């Protein structure tokens, strides 16, 4: 297996993408937040004292996607054209599935931006609700879909 973030001496490097042609890059990532059902009900019914949990979490995810190069050392700073964060909440199980989609016309993919958006969105939900529910867990941060570039389309099965 070959990793492209290392040079021939084994030193960590930023991959040189300057010779690549820009193409439309799209990535969608997810994260799952598990809460007590009453905590999720409070979120959905506007009963969390800190305010609009999902609204604040969405903004945090969007901001995180734009800051990915500051957080992940070898990622490239990208001109992101769109970030969308959506939620699927299941009141019966106390689960929120976050899906973050990032688009850019760039020389490298936006998978890290989408995964960072999903992760920070989940962390923001945790932060805003931890006073009411200490048992919150975050799991399954993963890439669901990507397209653009020479590697083509990837879809998680």
Would you name the residues annotated as active-site residues?
127
Rounded CA-CA distance 49/15 in Å is 45
The residues near 66 (Cβ < 8 Å, ≥ 6 apart) are 80, 83, 113
Ramachandran area for residue 64 (φ above 0: left; ψ -120 to 50: alpha; else beta): alpha
Tokens for 99, please give them.
Answer: 């899906």
DSSP state, 47?
Answer: -
C-alpha separations of 29 from 42, 77, 129 in Å: 26, 19, 22
């Amino acid at each position: 297996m070959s990793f492209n973030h290392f040079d021939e001496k084994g030193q960590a490097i930023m991959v040189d993408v300057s010779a690549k042609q820009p193409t439309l890059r799209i990535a969608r990532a997810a994260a799952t937040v598990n809460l007590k059902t009453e905590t999720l009900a409070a979120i959905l019914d506007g009963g969390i004292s800190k305010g609009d949990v999902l609204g604040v979490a969405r903004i945090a995810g969007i901001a995180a996607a734009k800051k990915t190069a500051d957080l992940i050392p070898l990622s490239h700073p990208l001109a992101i054209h769109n970030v969308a964060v959506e939620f699927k909440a299941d009141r019966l199980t106390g689960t929120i599935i976050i899906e973050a989609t990032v688009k850019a016309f760039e020389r490298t993919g936006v998978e890290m931006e989408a995964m960072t958006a999903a992760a920070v969105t989940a962390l923001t939900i945790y932060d805003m609700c931890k006073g009411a529910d200490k048992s919150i867990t975050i799991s399954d941060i993963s890439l669901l879909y990507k397209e653009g570039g020479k590697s083509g389309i990837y879809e998680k099965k």
